[in-house]
Amino acid sequence: MTRQIRTSPAACEQSLHQAYDTALLDLDGVVYAGGEAIAHAVESLASARADGMHLAYVTNNALRTPDAVAEHLGELGIPTEADEVITSAQAVARLIAEQVEPGSKVLVIGGEGLRVALRERGLVPVESAEEEGLAAVVQGYGGPDLAWGRFAEASYAINRGVPWFASNTDLTIPGTRGIAPGNGAAVEVVRIATGAEPQVAGKPLPPMHRETVLRTGAERPLVVGDRLDTDIEGAFNGEVDSLLVLTGVTDAEQLLRAEPRHRPTYVDRDLRGLLAGQPEVEPVEDGFRCGGWTAVALNSGVLELRATGEASEAGEAGGEDRDGGADVDPIDGLRALCAAAWTAAGDGVCALDAAKALARLGL
């Protein structure tokens, strides 16, 4: 059966933390960046948990173990148990274990998170391509200090025909100083040297979704992420709803140009969106309205944003107080723009010029 193409962010009368039983939260760019908590994350997650929502942290970052991640979250003020953390290292370890004999040796190109996950599956992590009986190579994010020689070690084994697995292929990773190369960039290095293709476990692919469902038992999950090509696409592939927050790598312009598999169910500024309902984006005669904004796709190839009669002159510039201190919320303007852009694009990518509209919102 053909899936319906999303052409607008959805509405939700209930607060999202009441409408869904489990939040499947990405970490980098959603909960923290560069190890520091993102604004409003700690308080929002505490409120959601207090009201009965189960929180699970689902990350493509294979560097750290679930114990280490849980400890870090606790230090940030987010009490977390290790079994509430699901990593791409766990997903790729399960994928490997299904294809090799128990006790097999696996060459590790990455950090401790991979080694612990492999041992959990009864596999033996090793460091050299020269190990006798090597059954697989696994590559995951190793942090900024991972030696270049590790990529050569992987290449030696893969060029001899050893199966290659990757935890994930995120090209970038957000940090306090900006965007840095992720595991996907490192995978490209090995791909160039070998001409091979790895089996990949992480978001947005099915092995990660399966790992998450098996470990959380979620019945009405909501994927919460900052990346269109991993978090949102992973939710699309798993046929579950998603919330995009604008605290990580995806900006408003990229969101407007999202192809169907990258269009989230909901859009919000940050994790405070978990505690709120989501407004309706309604079609009007010449475009789409949300809150105090109307977005229109003009024949001239431009996305235009108009303030409705409810908006004040100050509100047109985009207020900062989401609790009513301004007449309009710029995120409502973005939601209206999404509807106009996605409707115009259909099953493609929107090519309309949105620069002036986004500048008006301050996004």
d(CA 57, CA 331): 25
Comparing C-alpha atoms, which of 213, 244, 279, 246 is closest to residue 22? 213
Catalytic one of 26, 170, 231, 270: 26
Active site residue 26: yes
Question: How many residues belong to the chain?
Answer: 363
d(CA 102, CA 111): 22
| Residue 174 three-state SS | strand
Which residues are CB-contacts of 114 (< 8 A; sequence separation ≥ 6)?
A: 62, 89, 92, 93, 108, 125, 138, 140, 167
Active site residue 28: yes
| Pair 169, 204: CB distance under 8 Å | no
d(CA 86, CA 216): 9
Count helices and strands (H / E) in the chain: 12, 19
Strand residue runs (E) in 234-309:
241-245, 266-268, 282-284, 287-290, 293-297, 303-307
Catalytic residues: 26, 28
